[in-house]
Structure 1
Amino acid sequence: MLSILQILLMILGVVKFVMIVHIIMSWLINFQVLNIRQPLVSQIWYGLTRLLEPIYAPIRRLLPAMGGLDLAPLVAFLAIYAIEIVIRNNAHLLI
């Protein structure tokens, strides 16, 4: 059982890392540090967007329109962090 919990925590860690990369890339694209017309940047950006859209889409449906401000990544990041806390605090019950 401990192995399953560790694998789950590892997957959540990878998802958090991908989300952080996506958030930083969005900032760099919006401030025109990165150009979306470059093939490598475009492939990475659209790949990360496709990976994270299933996580962000349900959150975006629940959140009210914020006038161009997307809070879905923040809510998803906090939810993943909360899931990690619950798993770590209750791991001793499952072992």
Structure 2
Amino acid sequence: MITILFNVLFYVLNIYFWIVVIAAIYQTLASFGVIDTRNRVVWMIGDFLYRATEPALRPIRRILPDLGGIDFSPWILCLLIRLVAMPVLARIYAALVLGDVHGLLL
């Protein structure tokens, strides 16, 4: 049962990682005028991506200095997901399922 829970968490983090990447690409394309945000379908996609990623990106944007229109917060969030959240989740899984408590301390 716990293995299924951790697999679901891994998949959710992976899907959220890709949502952040797609949102960053969408914002870049919209800012350069490549996609028409007045189109209803395109606007709905952008609204979904904004609502899905903004709660996680807002604290990162508060910490980062203003870089003149360049937004590095999605890439920092992607790094946090890949380099922090996934390994931490793997260590917790190893500690619970395999009994490797020493892995949590490192």
TM-score relative to the length of structure 1: 0.88
Aligned residues: 95
Question: How big is the alpha-carbon RMSD for the aligned residues of Structure 1 and Structure 2?
Answer: 1.5
Structure possessing the higher radius of gyration over alpha carbons: 2
Q: Structure 2: state its 5+ residue gaps.
A: 98-106
Q: Return the letter of the residue paired with 2:27.
A: S
Equivalent residue number for residue 39 of structure 1? 40
Residue by residue over 1:24-61, the C-alpha shift from the partner in whole angstroms, topping out at 9 and shown as x without a partner, is 21222233221111111111101210111100001111
Q: Which residue number in structure 2 is paired with residue 23 of structure 1?
A: 24
Counterparts of 1:68 and 1:32 in 2: how far apart (Å)?
15
Moved more, 41-50 or 30-39: 30-39
Structure 1 unaligned residues grouped into runs of 5+? none
Deviates more, 1:53-62 or 1:63-72: 63-72
Q: Greater relative contact order (Cα 8 A, min sep 6): structure 1 or 2?
A: 1
Residue in structure 2 matched with residue 53 of structure 1 by the alignment: 54
What stretches of structure 1 move > 4 A for 4+ residues in a row?
Answer: none
